[in-house]
Structures are given as structure tokens and as C-alpha cells.
Structure 1
Amino acid sequence: MKKISLLCFLGLAMMSCKKNHDQTEPVENNIDYHQTAQTKFAQVDNVKFAYRTLGEKPGIPLVLVASLGSSMDDWDPAVTNGLAQQSKVILFDIEGVGSSTGKTADNIADMAKGAVKFIKAMGYEKVNLMGFSMGSFISQQIILTEPGLVNKLILTGTGPKGAVGLSNLPNLLAASAGLSAEESFLKFAFTSSDNSIAAGKAAWARTLKRTVDRDAPLSPEAGGAELKAVLGWAQPAPGALDELKKVSQPVLIAQGEEDIPLPVVNARNLAKSLPNAKLIVYSDAGHASFFQYHEEFVIAANAFLKN
């Protein structure tokens, strides 16, 4: 269990490990969908995928694919609520995580297959995808194997197959030994500056705000499978960037300039390889740059999805 707690920093899922239970207006002035959305289930074969729908906006829905160790509760409500002002936002748990049943896959390719099954079970023929960290790996795999399903793609805290620095993950996990959940969150998802730490503490508080109908903590089995999948993505992949050159859909990439687990060079490499990509690099920001700069990110993401 200690190992699973350590791996949670990359997925920004310490909250679950800790507890059982054109321009957009600032999120604080808008509807709080995140706290009130009911958990529902989509049956796919013998798996029940847990999901929540934020808002009922018409048009192509936005499906969010979470990071290592994360459930639906671990998204920053300032981001999800902001996105839900313009799009119908779908949060879901991959197999074996949170409130979803089944066995968690130990590789990104099978995780992507599961996510596709969920999307199709919801009746969607076309979606916008937004992936964070491990979720960005899953989203890249989906757009390569099921290109007709994806309209637009948003990648955050991301890197291609064989991402520079990602193989150092075990050492980063070891470095978090002895830290509290919140301390790990701040250390690995934000920078050491006063501004970044303050933003991290605010984001931490927002993610803990929902107290009713929260997802279950990550199990040791699911955590081990996810970690194996991420380390598999980290293995050298000489042709990965060339493979991305065939992606024709618009892609928005948001990355922190001081991202520790996935250094910013990875986002730059992605932006150079994807033919129709836009890159935003947030200064004095780490792995969770879009939590820290949530207002700016929501404005950029909504404009990207609308145009």
C-alpha cells in the first residue's frame, strides 16, 4: 500500500489515497457541476464503467481521460466546471479504478481499447478528448487506432512514447517517501515558488471539496497495473514521433515549463511532430500546470474546442 501511495503523485490522486469517502468568465462565477454530478454506469460486456456528466451542452462532448492513480474525483473542479460552461463534459473511471469494475490493464494499448468501448457504449460516434499524463498517453493511442472517433485532442502533462525523463519515474517515487499526500502533490505537480505553491494548495482544496459519492481509493492491483503501463510507455520508441505525423486532427498541448516527470521537451517534440498542433507552455509551472493556470487554460481550451 505504501508503494501505491507513492505512485499517486503523478496521477494527482493523493486525494483518493487519503480519503475514503471566444472568452469564458472565471469559473467561480459559474455553475458548480463537478460537486453535484451523479455517478452513473455504462455496461460493456462484464464491466461497469462509472461516469459523471457535467452539463448538457449540445454538440460534440468532451471526454476526459485521467492520469495515473486518478479517479473522477481528482480532476480540478475549476477546470471541469469551466469546460462544462461550453461543452458537455464526461468524466469516467477506467476499468478497475474508482467505481468502475473489471481488471485494470497493464499497458496503454489495452487501456485505450477499454476507453473506446466506454465511449461507444455511451452512443457517441465522435468526441473531443482531453488526457492528462497517463490519460494523455491513452488519448494518443486512441487517436492513432480510432482516428474516426476523435474530433479534437487536448494533451496536458504529456509526452510521446519513449518520453524523455519518464523512465526516471521509480526514482521520483522513491523521493516522495515520507511526504504526506498534500506534500507530494505540491512537490511533483507544482514548482517551489511561493506563487506555484499557493496555487497548488488552492487546487488541493478544490479537489477535496466534493465529499458525497466519492470514488473508492486506488487498489494495490490497479495501482500496480497503471504503473506498469506508464513504465511501458516510457520504453524507447524510435518511430513514435513519426507515427504522430499522420494525425490530422487539431491538437492543443498544455505543459508546465518545469514539469518534473515529463520535462517540457516532450511537449515541444509532440508539437513539432503533430501537423496541426498548438503548444502552450506555462512559466513557473509543473506537472499540473493547467490546475495552476486554470482560468487561462479554460479560456484557451474552450476557444480551441469552439473554433
Structure 2
Amino acid sequence: MRNNRTITSMKRLALFAILALGIASCDKDETPAKDDTTVTVDYHQTATTQFIESGDTKYAYRVLGQKEGTPLVILSPLGGSLDDWDPAITNGLAQKNKVIIFDNQGVGSSTGKTPATIADMAKGAVTFIKALGYTKVNLMGFSMGGFVTQQIALTEPALVNKIILTGTGPKGSEGLSNLPNLLSAAAGLSPKESFLLFGFTSSAESRSAGEQSYARVQKRTVNRDAPVSNESFGAQLTAVLAWAQPYPNALKELETITQPVLHIQGQKDVPVPVINAVNMSQHIPNARLSVYPDAGHAAFTQYPEQFVEQANDFLK
């Protein structure tokens, strides 16, 4: 494990550095359609942080929107806590759904110790969901959150209704083991430049979209969530690198996921190249893949209106 100084440097790089790729089956290389969606309520700014205890963990969470029906629980990427989500995404989804964002064990304002495996992170997420009293939820996972989402679908299938994956991949994702080198190469960059480097492409259009997303993420200034600690980030990184190790049965296991799956992937994602999404699309029976052009790891925040439209249509 790296020392605290190295971990602190990596934390600044990691919000969008982590792992890309995922699932699904049709509409490859699809160009997102334009959307006229207008966000009318800023849930991201006004939602209060709540807490619920289960076992030895007090989980911090927020509820965005008050729609009826199956809630959408969103799982965070490496180094991300409640206020690292792009409000264009969370607000857009909350117009049509009850959206729940939360800090898993030891992350942000939650207590406990962050697990060093994806399997144990999945157990923590399941514990949180059941503590809220839900027996069926929709799940959305970004990057590392997508790893956790897959694990929940495999081990607790009865809990899962529909799945959205973005910037995430299966065990042993091609290119994922190179993550430490990618992080080291970005050492010394500002948080904003790290955000742009890992999440977006070098084109003017993609960088502009990334700058807008970065500004939105900083918008909430009152009662912001606590940042991820060095200890928590180190455990997360350990879990991610373990997930990156070769696992010959990964795609075969995904064939057992029967829930509808929507996967959004950037055409030029660097941490986990798009070939992983294509491979997954051939093994998950009821999944759809949309590849966003000139987009990197954070493709869904580069095209927030299109993503929200597709996700809300998928969930309804």
C-alpha cells in the first residue's frame, strides 16, 4: 500500500480515474439524441444528509425527489462521496425517480471501516438498502460503483429490479490493471485538470463539457459531505486493483444476470477501453449498450441531458 502522501495525490486524481466499462448488448456506437429536458427542482442543493445505523456502521445518505415506485440507489466511484456527483445527473434523475445517494462503510460521513474488497463493499451496500426497508431497488453504478453493482446483482439478485452501469467493467477488465500508471502519470496536476484528464477527451468540445461538469460538482457549498479519507481511499484502491486481476469466469458469471441493464460507455474511455463493454454486451442476456462519441470515462456527464433522458426512459 502506498504511503499517505502518495494516497493523497492519488485521491485528487481518482474521482474519474477509476475503471470503466460494463455491460450490455445493442445500439453500439450509438450517437446520443438531443434532449429538451429542463431540470426544475435542484434537489442536489437542498437535500439534507440523513443517517441510518445497521450493525456497527452509521450510513450517511440523501434522498433526492419524492416519486413513487422503485427507488434508484446510486453507487459511487473510487474516491467519491455524496457531493462528488454531478447535479445535472442527480437532479435530472430525481425529476422522475426517488434517487438515493449514500456513503458506504467508512466513506465520507459514514462510520465504520472501508472494505478492501468489492465483495465486502457489496455486502455493505446491501446492508444499507435493507436497513432502509427496501426489498427491491434499481441500481446505478459509476466506475467502482459499477463493480459493486455487478456483485450485488450476482449475490443478491432478488433485491435488484433494473441496472444502469456507466464507466465500469467486469472482473479482469482489459486495461484496468494499468490504473496505477495512469494515476502516477497525472501526478502534480490540479484537481480540475485530473478531472478532465481521466473523465474526458482532448477535444475542445469534450473539455468544455468537462469544465462545465466540474463547476456543477463544486456548486453545493453548504453542508457538503466529508471528503474520502486516506485510509478509505487506500482500501478502495486495493479493492479495485484486486478486481482488475485476471478472472477467466467473469463473463460467464455475467450470463446469470437476468435483470434489464442499460450501459453507457465513452468511446475513448482510457482506464477501461470500450472493448470490455462490447465483450460484456455479448454475455448479459437483457442488456443494451450505448457508446457516446468523443467521450471518455465520464461520458454520462459529458452528455447529461441525453443520459438522463435514456436513463429515465429505461427506468419508467
Normalising by structure 1, we get a TM-score of: 0.94
Equivalent residue for 1:212?
222
Give secondary structure in 1 for the equivalent of 2:68. coil
Q: Is 1:121 aligned to 2:131, yes or no?
A: yes
Q: Which amino acid is the alignment partner of residue 48 of structure 2?
A: Q
Q: Is 1:170 aligned to 2:174, yes or no?
A: no
Equivalent residue for 2:116?
106
Q: Which runs of 4+ in 1 moved over 6 A?
A: none
Alignment of 1:153-192 (within 5 A): 153-192=163-202
Aligned residue pairs total 296
Is 1:12–1:74's contact at 8 Å kept on the other side of the alignment?
no
Give secondary structure in 2 for the equivalent of 1:111. helix
Is 1:58–1:87's contact at 8 Å kept on the other side of the alignment?
yes
Equivalent residue for 1:46?
56
Q: Which amino acid is the alignment partner of residue 263 of structure 2?
A: I
Equivalent residue for 2:161?
151
Q: Distance in 1 between matches of 2:237 and 2:80?
A: 12
Equivalent residue for 1:288?
298
TM-fit CA distance, 1:283: 0.5
TM-fit CA distance, 1:25: 4.7
Q: Distance in 2 between matches of 1:186 and 1:155?
A: 21
Equivalent residue for 1:26?
37
Match among 37, 40, 44 for residue 47 of structure 2: 37
Q: Which amino acid is the alignment partner of residue 228 of structure 2?
A: L
Q: Is 1:12 aligned to 2:16, yes or no?
A: yes
Q: Is 1:65 aligned to 2:75, yes or no?
A: yes
Give secondary structure in 1 for the equivalent of 2:282. helix
Structure ranking higher in helix proportion: 1
Give secondary structure in 1 for the equivalent of 2:112. coil
Q: Distance in 2 between matches of 1:168 and 1:297?
A: 28
Q: Distance in 1 between matches of 2:307 and 2:13?
A: 21
Is 1:112–1:138's contact at 8 Å kept on the other side of the alignment?
yes
Normalising by structure 2, we get a TM-score of: 0.91
Q: Is 1:241 aligned to 2:245, yes or no?
A: no
CA RMSD of aligned residues (A): 1.3
Cα deviation, 1:176-216, whole Å, max 9, x if unaligned, reads 11100000000111000000000000000000000011111
Q: Distance in 2 between matches of 1:256 and 1:67?
A: 16
Give secondary structure in 2 for the equivalent of 1:91. strand
Q: Distance in 2 between matches of 1:220 and 1:33?
A: 29
**Unaligned residue ranges in structure 1 (runs of 5+):** 14-22
TM-fit CA distance, 1:269: 1.3
Match among 272, 275, 280 for residue 265 of structure 1: 275
Q: Distance in 2 between matches of 1:300 and 1:265?
A: 22
TM-fit CA distance, 1:38: 0.2
Give percent identity, aligned residues only.
62
